[in-house]
Amino acid sequence: MVLIQIFIIRLFDALLMTIETIQIIKGNRKIGSILSFIEVLIWFLIIKEALRENNSFLVALVYALGYCIGTYLGSFLSNKYSKEKIMVQVISSNKNIKEILKNNDIPFSLINSSGSYSNNYIFLIIINNNLFIKIKNLVLKEDSNAFISTYESKKIINGYFH
């Protein structure tokens, strides 16, 4: 029973730590600090319990497994439900991407450009992070050689995004 408790609490602790790290990176220091306080308190309590157990290898294994799965779940949830805005830049010689984006109600800006070897179109798209996979798949289906990059948008003033 204690091993299950250690696993569950360590999983929750790692999940909390992942969210805390993301909050601090995004500049939410107050939330990050509060979460770090809770995380350290949980960590201390779980270590105290873990050290009482006789089977130290099994405790270490369960502790590490809880940390591993908690970190994975934290990053998975963060990516899946993140409402962060990102700038997606698509560089392609295929102008049909314009119609594909329009037909899927994805707002963009289009820039004609000339590169080292060819003329291209640059599509600038600002979206919620969770829509990136959809856009990536749409673009690569039309042009498997499209160059795609993303940037986190810290602030957005005016304009329209999806």
pLDDT band at residue 123 using 50, 70 and 90 as cut-offs: very high
Q: Cα 46 vs. chain centroid, distance in angstroms?
A: 28
pLDDT digits (tens, 9 = 90+) for 131-147: 889 999 999 999 999 99
Q: How far apart are CA 137 and CA 157, in angstroms?
A: 28
By DSSP bridging, strand 85-92 and strand 119-128 are antiparallel
pLDDT band at residue 155 using 50, 70 and 90 as cut-offs: low
Domain coordinates in residue numbering, the chain: 2-81, 85-152
**What is the average per-residue pLDDT within 48-77?**
83
pLDDT(27) > 80: no
Residues whose CB falls within 8 Å of the CB of residue 101, separated by 6 or more in sequence, listed in order: 108, 123, 125, 135, 138
pLDDT(13) > 60: yes
Q: pTM of this prediction?
A: 0.57
Q: Decide if 73 contacts 144 (C-beta within 8 A).
A: no
**What is the average per-residue pLDDT within 118-130?**
87
Domain 85-152 part of CATH 3.30.70.120: yes
